[in-house]
Amino acid sequence: MFKSVLVANRGEIACRVFRTAKRMGLRTIAVYSEADAQALHVREADEAVRIGPAAARESYLDGAKVLAAAKATGAEAIHPGYGFLSENADFAEAVAAAGLIWVGPDPASIRAMGLKDAAKELMIQAGVPVTPGYQGADQSEATLTAEAARIGYPVLIKAVAGGGGKGMKRVDDPADFAAGLASAKREGAAAFGDDRVLIERYITRPRHIEVQVFGDRHGDVVHLYERDCSLQRRHQKVIEEAPAPGMSEAVRAAVTDAAIKAAKAVNYVGAGTIEFIADASDGLKADGIWFMEMNTRLQVEHPVTESVTGVDLVEWQFRVAAGEPLPLKQDQIKLNGWAMEARLYAEDPATGFLPSIGRLEHFVMPEGIRVDTGVEQGGEVSQFYDPMIAKLIVHEDTREAAAARLAEAAGEVEVWPVKTNAGFLKRCLDHPRFVTGDVDTGFIAAEEGTLSAPEPSKTVINNASDLLWRSRSVNPADSWDTEYGAVGFRLNAPSVTEHIFFINGAAHQGGYLNGRPVVHYGPEIDGGFVVFYQGDAYEVSRRAPRSGAAGAISDGSLRAPMPGKVVAAPVKAGDVVAKGQPVVVLEAMKMEHALTAPFDGVVEHVAAVGDQVVEAAVLAVVKAAD
């Protein structure tokens, strides 16, 4: 076994790899950009090397700088994590050429599975069932349009080098194909340097089933069962679980056998995931599951597999990279219980899940469960990287117990002033359809009304009002057992029983309670404080908010939620738009974000395509219809 490892990644995954490396007695080496100088993964490593500016292309994606850091620190091995250089065959070759150990699959396997079109052709030859579609070399718009018509709508346009939902667009109407194609090509070029696409038939009730595989250099390949990653938003996984609900032993045997066949077709070594799409319109069936792609790396959701198998997948990666055989044979790998993982993102459900950036002044994670994170209180969520800030993982005896525990954990999250999807996660986990396992990749879109950010409930209003009544110069949550009878009392004046106050800028009226609050008192803010309830954060204040950013939508101004680049403007000044219609598209945090019209009206101004904009810049103005 080698003695030291450099992790060519950042944040949560670097911290995760370091945890196993330290347990195994390995010296850990971090790399970091200027934006990550104070990051948690830098402090947790035994040694750290700055490799460039904040932009990933000039730091984490610069293989030469990573190799220079490895040489300077005497690292023996490089673990790429996921994302960045993890599926870059050229970098894997460069690592080996430098005399270092690459903790990952062979470059030939990465190349074979790296492009979705070539991978599908390879799987067809290997006898693995694939989704009907087009993955040809002719990338002209005319050919792609014709192929989409041949396949039949709805179709899915996918960047051939894509992953993580980037460069993936569903198109239901032929009239929208050109716009969807252009967007997929833009995202593919920006994220992967490749704007080629393939087209697949869109399964109307799809489930995302994937199988964890592992191979060694002694010819052995095993699977560690399946995961279900069907709960997605914009093709980004939100909640993952293992095993998959409704999976019979016969279907499990079919899909795991196909996964092993796929891995062996490319002589796979190390950790990998074979992803399948399943038609869930009539339950899971062996002839209704098709190969989508292979991820030749560790997955974000690997903890759920670790939980139900008792295997440390990172340790297996290290051992296989060092030339050791797989620690277990197939018949020694058993399923135990049920695991679920929820991805906590820095994003605001109230604004269409736009990413949220800034300093984590208040950051409290649930206790008693596994939390994988790369940030901490006082840290920063940067505009330059992925908005996922933590993973909440539970393991229970049954699916029902796992869903209930994870829902409880999501409700205990407290983050401020950065916005998160914690409340949204809890609503997903509590939803009756999810609890019964009735999920597919369209679940979130179909249930949007019940999952969206709620208006403050009566519980929140009453509790916030009571805390505001009791607030002094100290935490009002500490004043329950003192002066209780004096609440609302005024000397030489009638008792006050109600007052006007504000929650998230909106006026409410309330008094005080006859019991302890169920909301959790958070940090103080100007004129009030923050309370947390079931994963959502509420800003409570004695006075109305100042005009400005809070009124940006009401006055028709669409402002940039963060720095970024304007990559599309579907409308121009003078155009009539309907509420919810895309007006301008901003590229930030590795994704495109469409800002939509807040109401019916006429476009008065829209930013130019190509403009680099700062946070809060006015990107468009819509004048309300008379």
Active site positions, annotated: 297
Rounded Cα–Cα distance for residues 418 and 414 (Å): 10
Q: At what angle do helices 11-23 and 313-321 cross, to 10 degrees?
A: 70
Residue 176 in 3-state DSSP? Answer: helix
Structure token digits, residue 367: 């206790």
CB 77 within 8 A of CB 95: no
Cβ-based neighbour number of residue 555 at 10 Å? 12
DSSP string, 375-409: --TT-EE-TTS--EEEEEEEEESSHHHHHHHHHHH
DSSP string, 182-231: HHHHHHHHHHHS---EEEEEPPSSEEEEEEEEEE-TTS-EEEEEEEEEEE
Rg of the Cα atoms in the chain: 26
CB 303 within 8 A of CB 309: no
Identify the burial level of 351 via C-beta atoms within 10 angstroms of its C-beta, where 0-12 means exposed, 13-18 middle and 19 or more buried.
Answer: middle
CB 158 within 8 A of CB 184: yes
Q: At what angle do helices 116-126 and 249-265 cross, to 10 degrees?
A: 110
Rounded Cα–Cα distance for residues 549 and 351 (Å): 13
Residue 510 makes CB contacts below 8 A (sequence gap 6+) with 461, 462, 464, 465, 466, 498, 499, 501
Sign of the alpha-carbon torsion through 94, 99, 100, 103:
positive
Residue 494 makes CB contacts below 8 A (sequence gap 6+) with none
- Would strands 206-215 and 270-279 be described as parallel, antiparallel, or unpaired? antiparallel
Task: State how far the alpha carbon of 417 is from the alpha carbons of 378, 397, 529, 561, in Å.
Answer: 11, 36, 11, 14
